[in-house]
Each structure stands twice: as C-alpha cells, then as structure tokens.
C-alpha cells in the first residue's frame, strides 16, 4: 500500500517472478556446484595424467562459462528487476536490511567473473597448481555467494530475532540458515553432476566417456544423499506456523508430488549410470536427468514460497505489501484512506465497484489474476453470491491461513465483494436477504466458496436430513480437505433443513 | 509534499557513507558501459568497412565484447543497489510505473549478450549478413540506455506520477519531460565517445602483438572520440538548458560547487579533446577518467537540486550497521586483492 501496483490482471506479477526465479535458482546452484566439479575433474585428469579427461574438463568449462555468465548472470539481474516491480515494498526492506550482504555478494560475483574467464582462457597455458588455485577461488566465491543469498532468502521465511531487535545478524543467521545452507550446497553438487551428464554425451564413446560418466554419477549420488538428509533437516527447521499454513495449501501438494517424482527419476538415472551401465548414457537420457533436476529445483522453490504464505516476510509483511501490524488500524480507519496509491479514498454506495476494484488491485492482485493462468480469482469465486463473498472476506485468513486477512472497513469489504460479484461476474447485487431464509443464507456464506449447490446436491443425494445434520458436525470426516463448520447447533439445524429441503426439491 | 511519495525505509548507514559508495562505484559502471558500447559500435563500423585490416580489428574487438558486457552488468550492481537504498521511494515507484520497459532491460541484455557471443564465435561465418548479430546487440544496448534514461528521469519527477491512474499496466514513459531526449542523447553520444577512447587504449596495448591492428584501433578510436566529444560539448549545453530553471541556475553561478564542477568538467573535456587530436592516447584517457567522475558528481548535484522540494537526506532515519559495513569493506578489499593476483597470474601465462 506504500507503492503503486503494476497491474496486468490477466498476467499477474507472481508468474513473472516464478518463471525467472526457477531458471535463475537452477543456474545459480549449478554455478556453485559446477565450480567444485571443474576443480575435481581437473585434479582427476592431472592425477591420472589423462589428456582425455583434461580435454573434457576444458570443453565442459567453456560451456559452463556460457551458461553461468550469460543465463545465470542475466537471470540474476532479471530476478532483482522483477521483484522490485512486483514486490517493491518487500524488496525495499530486503535491500535496506541487507545492503552490505548484497554488496559483499556483488564482490563475490565480480571475483567469480574474473576467475572463471581466466580459468577458461588459460586452460593448458598456466601452471597446473595456479590454474587449480584459480578454480578453487571461483568455487570459493561462488559458494560464498550462496552463503550470503541463503541468509537473505531464509530471512523471508523465518526472520527470527530480527523482528524483535532489528539486528542484521539475527536476521541473517536466522533459524533456517544452517539447514538451508547445507541443503542448497548439496543441491548445487547434484545439479553440477547432472549437467556433467549432458556434457559427457558430447565425448566420443571410449574410456574417457565411461570414466567421466561414472565420475559424474558418483558425484550425483553423493550429493543426492546429502540433499536428502539436509532437506529433512531443513523441513524440520521450518517454523511451525509456516509449516501449518503451507500444509493447508493445495498447490503445496502438487509441488510435493512433482518434487518426489523428480527425485526418484534422478536417483534411478544416477544409479543406472554409476552401477549398471555407464555406456547407456545417451543425450536424451541426460536431458531427462536435467529436466528432473529442473523440476526438483522448481518444486523446492515452490514449497519455500508456499511455506512463506500469507507473508512475503514471515510475520512482518503480507504478500500484498500490508504490514501485519497495520491490519487493526486499517480495519478501524479504512484502507483506502491510508493507501498512498489508491485511486479513490473511500468506499460508499456511490462508488462500490470503483472502490472495490482499487481494493482488488491493492490487496488481492499480489496473488490472484483475473481470468489469467495463475490463481484466477474469477474462477475461484464463480459460485459465490454477494452475501457469501462478504462473509468469506470476513473469515478469509481463518479459513485459508495461507491467505492474508482482508484489511479495511466494513464498507470497503462490501465494495470488494460487490466488485467481484458484479464487476467480475456481472451478477446483480441483492437488495435484501436471500430467499430461502436463514439456511440459504448460511449455505451461501459458508459453503459456496468451494461448492456450488448442484455439487452438494449430487454428493448428498439420498442422505436425508438426519445424516446431513450429523455430517455438519464433522465435515473433515467427509473429506480431509474440508474445514469443520464452526456454526452454532441452531445454525447447523437451519443449514440441514435447507439442504434437506433442497434435496427434496431436487427430487 | 507529494502524497504519492512512498514512506522511506530506515537507512543502514549514514547518508554520507552510502552516498560515497554510490559515487565511487557509479563511474566505474559508466566506464565499463562506455567501453562496451564503444567496442560494439566500432566493431560494427570496422566490419561494415570491410577491408582486411578492419575485419581483423572487428574480430578482435568482438572477442573483447562478452567480457565487457559481463563487467558492465557486474559493475552496475553496486550503484543500483546503493541508489535503491538512498532513493528507494523514488526509484521503486518509477520502476513500477514503467515496469514493462524496466523488465525489458534484463531480457534485452540477455539477447544482446547472446548476440555478442554469436558474433564472436561465428565471426567467420559467411559475410553479407555477418554484421547482423552485432548490429542487433548494439540496438538492444541503445534500447537499454533509453529505458535507464527514462527511469532515472521519471524518478526525479513525482509530479508526473499521477499519470499512473490512467495507465497501471507499467507502460508509462516520461517522453514528455523536457529533459528526456537531451539527456538520452548526452548519455549515448558521450558513452560512444569514451567507448572510442577505450578502443584506442586497447589498440595501444595491442600494438605490441599486432602493430597494424593496434594502430588502426588507435586511429579509429581517437577519431570517434574527438568528433563525438565535440558534439558532446553542444549536447551537454542542450541538456543543461533542458533542466528546470532553478537547478540550471545552480550551475550558472548559483552554487559554487555546481558551477565549479561544470567549469572543471568543461576544462577537462577541452583538454582531453586536445590530447585526442594530438594522438596522446594515455594522456587523453588520464583526463577522461576524472572527467567521467566529474560528470557523475554533476549528475548528482542535478538530482539533489531537482528533488530538493520533495526528498532529501535530512528526513531519513538511520540505524547504523557498523559491523556489516566494515565486513563488506573488508570483503571488497580482499576481493580486489584476489582479482589483482589472478590478473597478474593470467598475464604471466599470456592470457
């Protein structure tokens, strides 16, 4: 609410960040692990006096330079530019709290560039010891970059003591710092080995190719084991509230599934190349392994993002840029009056739709598109009537802990509900209470966020009033994805009456 | 006070420290950026000329270009970082208002980088359309300069931000600002001039190994430098005329610092021009580097003057992070020492 919102309702800024971030994170981790791989591969070549392995390492290094400098460097800039236009308020906090960490990371980036260019261009022209030392310097600064960025990234999910004391060190060495560092280091090694699978396929079949396939497979398996252990440590270290909120998210389950299958595929491929038949490594299989690694990284990042919700900085700032500490004041005094970049300053009967649109842009659009690919609000509110929408807004955060609460006055909640129901779906707003009495009103307020009436009728056909009433006492028993209804016994009676009557009517 | 101006964050160090870091690092980025632009432009020019010597020069410059792009991007990080810390409310806002173009910067960079590599690696590819990758890279780099000029101008003009309410899609451009076009031309022509000088310096260093190519680079580079610097004297004056009258007054006697900077800058430019005309490459470069620093200081005075009614350091809170700052400076010194060591080893190895 401090900054304007870049508003592209069909696109959504989150998607822009996600696409760039997944590619960048993939390459950035690979840039770290790849440095170590290069040094070890060169050492192996020197130790075994193998011109083949050294030639392979040289070619691998050149590809490595292209991928990390061009794609890695530019997507790194891209992610910075993207977060600054999609999440300017949170970016501003991260930049101000950690400017010296970012600065140190820049120094590492500079040393990495110089080291990598020199390493690649002096291959075979410099004495071995110095050349290896430059390789180590590249890896050391790349890993230090990871160390620095890791502290800032984890701060967003678990800011730790910083919330209370504002200390740089408390925020940087937050509760997730060490497990995350271990996990990301292992992930970096894994990606380096997987990438090496691909460059190995450019070698002619023979002893060198077999040796490097085995070497890369061993590399992947060792990192794989490390990543599993460190990943478990990381998952256990995620603070309870973040874990609880994210477990309620349906997208998290999809990310978990994708990550799991990617892990299985990678493990099997690595085992096959090391133990069974290194000669079976082909370019399509190497690409498959690379794709598996990309899916794995995507799933990990997705999980991290999901765990952070509804915040962008956990416990401090919601994903829509509203500070957690501001919500009570905004509920009391109104949101629009205090939002700098609102086009209207208050909501009233005369401007419900206009004010509602402003509220949508400033509070919902951070996560929801309108008729877009990602998290389309129009699709999610298709069944909601105006009273249901209004009731839903009042309990948004309680029902869906991964969503921020609506912040604003009662009039502003009406405006947002009106915008979604009439402005988005084109339905007229009701003049009075809905027909069907209290049961209908309760149904609209509590059920239609997830089910339309037809679906409920289909699912409860033939149940009768007594079974319906009993089910209302324990909805999660019907489906673990449903939250239990917290209405009074009288409300449940009314709702059961309504559903039973509707069922009778349907018959 | 402009009601749209976002509330600033607390600074992690006194304004002077952060501002000092900005002013030290920004000209380094300018130097690299100018070298990159000049190298790309002169490589294209030499390629289009097409004689055997020019083709060799174009090819050698093509090999340097990817390194210069990487350095320009890298050296652009600290000034943008410190500018975001100091001017966050202005810079984040203007970036959001023109988000589509701003996000186009990394995309264009990526494309330009790929084109530069393609040009370098496939230089020998059949001739007629061989110039296309470098021409494309150059066009993209000019486009990036256009977007940067637009953003750095828009952040200075909160009075124009209300246009957002008629266009929230991130496609606002501050083309209506009287400063925009003079500033853009001043930036780009100046960059090409200094870039020409970089090619001359590079040619001088190259002359030991390839005398003909080195000499050609010196001649072409100095020619570009002197001609464009002459043009730059006029364009600079045009830019000065385009800035708001009270701020212009600072440079014309209103402020001793601003006037002194302008006078010193003009003097250095004329001296550098004279050195360039006489073919004194190293002297010319020795005068141009401080000139770039002076230009950056003038730009800073201009920014402070324009923003004075709406934004200033005195309103910002500070919570110093002494330990992290000292650590950063130590890492910077260590990093530079490592770089010096690596470059020496590389030169010893003939890299």
pLDDT at A429 over 50: yes
Q: Average pLDDT, stretch A229-244?
A: 83
At which of A297, A318, A339 does a domain end? A318
Task: Among A213-227, A319-333, B2-16, name the one with the lowest average pLDDT.
Answer: A213-227
Whether A404 shows a pLDDT value over 90: the answer reads yes
CA B230/CA A368 separation, integer angstroms: 54
**Domain end (from A294, A318, A342):** A318
Q: Do A348 and A493 share a domain, yes or no?
A: no
Query: Is pLDDT of A435 > 60?
Result: no
A109 contacts chain B (CB < 8 A):
yes
User: Looking at residues A109-136, what average pLDDT do you find?
Assistant: 93
Mean pLDDT of chain A: 86
Query: Phi/psi at A405 (nearest 5 deg)?
Result: -70, 155
Same domain, A453 and A364: no
Which residues in chain A are contacts of B117 at CB distance < 8 A?
A: 66, 70
pLDDT in the model for residue B209: 87
Residues A244 and A296 in one domain: yes
The whole-angstrom separation of Cα B95 and Cα A2 is: 14
**B256/A contact by beta carbon, under 8 A:** no
List, for residues A182-193, the tens digit of each pLDDT value. 999 999 988 888
Q: How far apart are CA B127 and CA A240, in angstroms?
A: 64
Render the burial of A300-329: b for 16+ CB within 10 Å, e for the rest: bbbbbbbbbbbbbbbebbbbbbbbbeebee
Give me A10's structure tokens. 């069909």
Q: Higher confidence at residue A165 or residue A210?
A: A165
Same domain, A288 and A306: yes
Q: Tell me if B170 and A110 make a contact (CB, 8 A cut-off).
A: no
- B66 close to A (CB below 8 A): yes
Kindly give the interhelix angle for A73-86 and B52-97, rounded to the nearest 10 degrees.
Answer: 20
pLDDT (0 to 100) of residue A207: 77
Do the domain assignments include residue A324?
Answer: no
Helix axes A177-200, A207-237, angle to 10 degrees: 160
| Phi then psi dihedrals of residue A444, to 5 deg | -65, -40
Q: Which pLDDT does position A214 carry in this prediction?
A: 84
Together in a domain, A140 and A44:
yes
| Residue A487 domain boundaries | 436-507
Question: What does pLDDT average to over chain B?
Answer: 94
Instruction: Considering only residues B128 and A61, tell me which one the structure prediction assigns the higher pLDDT.
Output: A61
Cβ neighbours around B271 below 10 Å, total:
16
pTM: 0.88
CB contact under 8 A, A73 and B73: yes
> Å from B201 to nearest chain A CA?
20
Cβ contacts (< 8 Å) between A74 and chain B: which residues? 73, 106, 109-110, 113
Q: What is the DSSP string of B291-332?
A: HHHHHHHHHHHHHHHHHTTT--GGG--B---HHHHHHHHHHH
pLDDT over threshold 70, residue A250 = no
Predicted pLDDT of residue A12 = 84
> Would you give the DSSP letter of residue A87?
S
Closest CA to A71 of B75, B110, B112, B108: B110
pLDDT tens profile B151-198: 999 999 999 999 999 999 999 998 889 999 999 999 999 999 999 999
> A317 pairs with which residues across the strands?
A313, A323
Across the interface, of A81, A99, A125, the residue whose CB is closest to B105 is: A81
In this prediction, residues B67-82 reach a mean pLDDT of: 95
Residues A345-358 have a mean pLDDT of 93
Residues A406 and A494 in one domain: no
Alpha helices in chain B (DSSP H): 15-49, 52-97, 99-121, 132-154, 180-206, 211-242, 245-249, 256-277, 281-307, 322-348
Query: Same structural domain for residues A164 and A127?
Result: yes
Chain B (261-280) residues lying within 8 Å, Cβ to Cβ, of chain A: none
Q: pLDDT over 90 for what percent of chain A?
A: 41
Going from the C-alpha of B4 to that of each of A359, A453, B149, the distances in angstroms are 17, 45, 22
pLDDT band (50, 70, 90) for residue A16: confident
Percent of chain A with pLDDT over 70: 94
Q: Stretch B14-28: mean pLDDT, rounded?
A: 96
Give dist(CA A248, CA A331) in Å, integer. Answer: 26
pLDDT at A217: 84
Residues whose CB is less than 8 angstroms from the CB of residue A251 and which lie 6 or more positions away in sequence, other chains included: A302, A306
Contact A194, A227 (CB under 8 A): no
Q: Which of A75, A103, A344 best tests the B interface by mutation, with the highest count of B CBs <10 A?
A: A103
The residue out of A292, A318, A344 marking a domain boundary is A318
Segment A193-203, tens digit of pLDDT: 888 888 888 87
Where residue A249 falls among pLDDT bands split at 50, 70, 90?
Answer: low
Q: Is residue A195 part of a domain?
A: yes
Residue A445 sits in the same domain as residue A346: no
Q: How confident is the model at residue A506 (pLDDT cuts 50, 70, 90)?
A: very low
Point out the residue among B106, B117, B349 whose CB comes nearest to the CB of A126: B349
Q: What is the CATH number of the domain that holds A338?
A: 1.10.760.10
* C-alpha distance from B57 to closest chain A C-alpha (Å): 20
Instruction: Quickly state the pLDDT bin for B64 (edges 50, 70, 90).
Output: very high
Main-chain phi, psi angles of A385, to 5 degrees: -85, 175
CB within 8 Å of chain B, chain A residues 21-50: none
Which of the four pLDDT bands, split at 50, 70 and 90, describes residue B351? low
- The domain total for chain A is 3
**pLDDT for res A433:** 52
Nearest CB partner across the interface for B4, out of A114, A118, A340: A340
Least reliable range by pLDDT among A317-321, B72-76, B171-175, B267-271: B171-175
Query: Would an 8 Å CB–CB cutoff place B85 in contact with chain A?
Result: yes
> Does any domain span residue A325?
no
Residues B319-348 have a mean pLDDT of 96
pLDDT band at residue A436, thresholds of 50, 70 and 90?
A: low
Tell me whether residue A3 is in a domain: no
Using CA atoms, how far residue A256 sits from A20, A179, A237, B7, in Å, is 21, 19, 17, 39
CATH number for the domain spanning A305: value is: 1.20.1630
pLDDT in tens, B34-63: 999 999 999 999 999 888 899 999 999 999
If you average pLDDT over residues A76-102, what whole number do you get? 95
User: Contact at 8 Å (CB) between A379 and A389?
Assistant: no
Q: Which two tokens stand for residue A290?
A: 């690379």
Contact A74 B73 (CB under 8 A): yes
For residue A183, being part of any structural domain is answered with yes
User: What average pLDDT does the segment A309-333 reach?
Assistant: 93
Asked if B3 and A340 come within 8 Å (Cβ–Cβ), the reply is yes
Interface of A with B in 417-436 (CB under 8 A): none
* Mean pLDDT along residues A317-343: 94
**Among the partner residues A99, A114, A125, nearest to B339 by beta-carbon distance:** A114
Distances (CA, A) of A258 to A231, A269, A297, B112, B157: 15, 17, 10, 34, 47
pLDDT attached to residue B39: 97
A368-378: pLDDT as tens digits: 999 998 889 99
Interface contact B102, partner A, CB < 8 A:
yes
Helices (H) then strands (E): counts for chain A: 24, 2
Q: Is residue A86 part of a domain?
A: yes
Report B:151-190 residues touching A (Cβ under 8 A): 161, 164-165, 168-170
Q: Are A310 and A336 within one domain?
A: no
Is the pLDDT at A507 greater than 90, yes or no?
no
The whole-number pLDDT of residue B197 equals 97
Question: Are A309 and A428 within one domain?
Answer: no
Residues of B in contact with A169 (CB under 8 A): 323-324
Query: Do the domain assignments include residue A48?
Result: yes
DSSP secondary structure, A328-380, as one string: HHHHHH-STTT-TT-SSS---GGGHHHHHHHHIIIIITTT-BSSSSSSBHHHH
List A318's β-bridge partners, or say none: A311
Residues A24-79: tens digit of each pLDDT:
888 888 888 888 888 988 998 999 888 888 988 998 898 888 888 888 888 889 99
Q: Are A444 and A430 in contact (CB under 8 A)?
A: no
A419 and A368 both lie in a single domain: yes
A135 domain residue, yes or no: yes
Q: According to the model, what pLDDT value does residue A503 have?
A: 64
Q: What confidence tens digit (pLDDT) does each residue in A155-166 have?
A: 999 998 999 999
Q: What is the pLDDT of residues B82-111, one digit of tens each?
A: 999 999 999 999 999 999 999 999 999 999
User: A interface mutation test: which of B310, B319, B339 has the most A CBs within 10 A?
Assistant: B339
Q: What is the pLDDT of residue B66?
A: 92
Whether residues A313 and A377 share a domain: the answer is no
């Amino acid at each position: 609410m401090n900054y304007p919102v870049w508003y592209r309702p069909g696109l959504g800024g989150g998607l822009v960040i996600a696409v760039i971030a997944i590619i960048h994170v993939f390459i950035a981790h690979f840039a770290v692990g790849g440095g170590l791989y290069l040094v070890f591969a060169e050492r192996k070549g020197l130790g075994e006096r193998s011109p083949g392995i050294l030639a392979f390492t040289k070619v691998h290094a050149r590809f490595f330079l292209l991928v990390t400098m061009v794609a890695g460097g530019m997507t790194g800039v891209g992610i910075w530019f993207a977060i600054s236009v999609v999440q300017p308020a949170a970016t501003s906090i991260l930049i101000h709290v950690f400017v010296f960490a970012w600065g140190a990371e820049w120094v590492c980036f500079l040393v990495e560039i110089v080291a990598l260019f020199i390493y690649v261009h002096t291959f075979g022209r410099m004495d071995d010891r110095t050349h290896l030392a430059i390789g180590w310097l590249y890896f050391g600064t790349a890993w230090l970059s990871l160390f620095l960025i890791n502290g800032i990234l984890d701060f967003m999910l678990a800011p730790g003591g910083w919330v209370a004391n504002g200390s740089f060190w408390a925020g940087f060495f937050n509760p997730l710092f060490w497990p995350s560092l271990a996990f990301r280091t292992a992930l970096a090694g894994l990606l380096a080995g997987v990438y090496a699978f691909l460059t190995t396929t450019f070698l002619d079949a023979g002893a060198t190719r077999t040796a490097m396939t085995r070497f890369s497979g061993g590399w992947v398996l060792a990192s794989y084991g490390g990543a599993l252990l460190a990943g478990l440590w990381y998952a256990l270290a995620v603070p309870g509230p973040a874990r609880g909120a994210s477990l309620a998210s349906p997208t998290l389950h999809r990310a978990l599934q994708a990550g799991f299958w990617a892990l299985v595929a990678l493990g099997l491929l690595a085992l096959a190349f090391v133990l069974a038949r290194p000669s079976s490594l082909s370019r399509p299989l190497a690409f498959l392994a690379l794709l598996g690694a990309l899916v794995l990284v995507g799933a990990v990042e997705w999980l991290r993002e999901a765990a952070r919700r509804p915040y962008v900085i956990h416990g401090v700032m919601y994903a829509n840029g509203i500070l957690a500490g501001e919500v009570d004041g905004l509920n009391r005094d109104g949101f629009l009056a205090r939002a700098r970049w609102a086009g209207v300053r208050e909501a009233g009967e005369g401007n419900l739709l206009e004010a509602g649109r402003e509220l949508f842009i400033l509070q919902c659009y951070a996560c929801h598109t309108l008729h877009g690919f990602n998290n389309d609000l129009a699709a999610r509110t298709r069944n909601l009537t105006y009273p249901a929408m209004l009731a839903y807004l009042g309990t948004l955060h309680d029902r869906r802990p991964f969503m921020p609460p609506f912040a604003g006055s009662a009039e502003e909640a009406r405006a947002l509900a009106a915008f979604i129901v009439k402005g988005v779906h084109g339905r007229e707003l009701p003049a009075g209470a809905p027909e069907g009495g209290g049961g209908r009103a309760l149904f609209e307020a509590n059920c239609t966020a997830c089910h339309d009436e037809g679906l409920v009728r289909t699912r409860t056909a033939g149940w009768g009033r007594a079974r319906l009433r009993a089910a209302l006492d324990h909805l999660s028993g019907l489906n673990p994805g449903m939250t239990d209804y917290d209405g009074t016994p009288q409300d449940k009676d009314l709702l059961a009456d309504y559903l039973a009557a509707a069922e009778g009517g349907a018959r | 006070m402009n009601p749209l101006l976002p509330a600033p964050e607390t600074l992690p160090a006194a304004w002077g420290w952060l501002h000092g870091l900005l002013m030290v690092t920004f000209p380094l980025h300018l130097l690299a950026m100018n070298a990159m632009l000049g190298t790309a432009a002169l490589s294209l020019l030499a390629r289009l000329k097409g004689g055997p010597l020019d083709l060799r020069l174009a090819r050698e410059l093509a090999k340097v270009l990817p390194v210069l792009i990487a350095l320009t991007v890298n050296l652009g990080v600290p000034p943008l970082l410190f500018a975001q810390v100091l001017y966050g409310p202005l810079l984040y806002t203007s970036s959001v208002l023109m988000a589509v173009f701003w996000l186009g910067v990394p995309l264009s960079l990526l494309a330009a980088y790929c084109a530069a590599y393609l040009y370098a690696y496939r230089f020998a590819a059949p001739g007629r359309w061989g110039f296309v990758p470098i021409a494309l890279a150059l066009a993209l780099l000019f486009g990036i300069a256009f977007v940067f000029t637009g953003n750095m101008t828009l952040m200075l003009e909160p009075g124009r931000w209300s246009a957002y309410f008629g266009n929230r899609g991130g496609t606002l451009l501050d083309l209506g600002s009287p400063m925009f076009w003079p500033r853009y031309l001043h930036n780009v022509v100046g960059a090409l001039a200094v870039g020409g000088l970089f090619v001359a310096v590079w040619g001088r260093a190259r002359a030991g190994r390839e005398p003909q190519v080195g000499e050609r680079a010196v001649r072409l580079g100095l020619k570009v430098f002197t001609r464009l610097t002459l043009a730059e004297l006029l364009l600079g004056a045009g830019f000065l005329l385009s800035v708001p009258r009270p701020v212009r007054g600072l440079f014309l006697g209103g402020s001793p610092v601003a006037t002194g900077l302008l006078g010193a800058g003009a003097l250095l430019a004329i001296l550098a021009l004279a050195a360039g005309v006489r073919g004194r490459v190293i002297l010319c470069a020795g005068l141009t580097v401080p000139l770039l620093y002076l230009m950056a200081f003038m730009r800073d005075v201009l920014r402070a003057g324009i923003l004075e009614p709406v934004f200033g350091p005195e309103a910002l809170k500070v919570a110093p992070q002494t330990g992290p700052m000292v650590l950063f400076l130590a890492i910077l010194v260590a990093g530079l020492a490592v770089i010096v060591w690596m470059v020496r080893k590389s030169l010893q190895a003939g890299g």
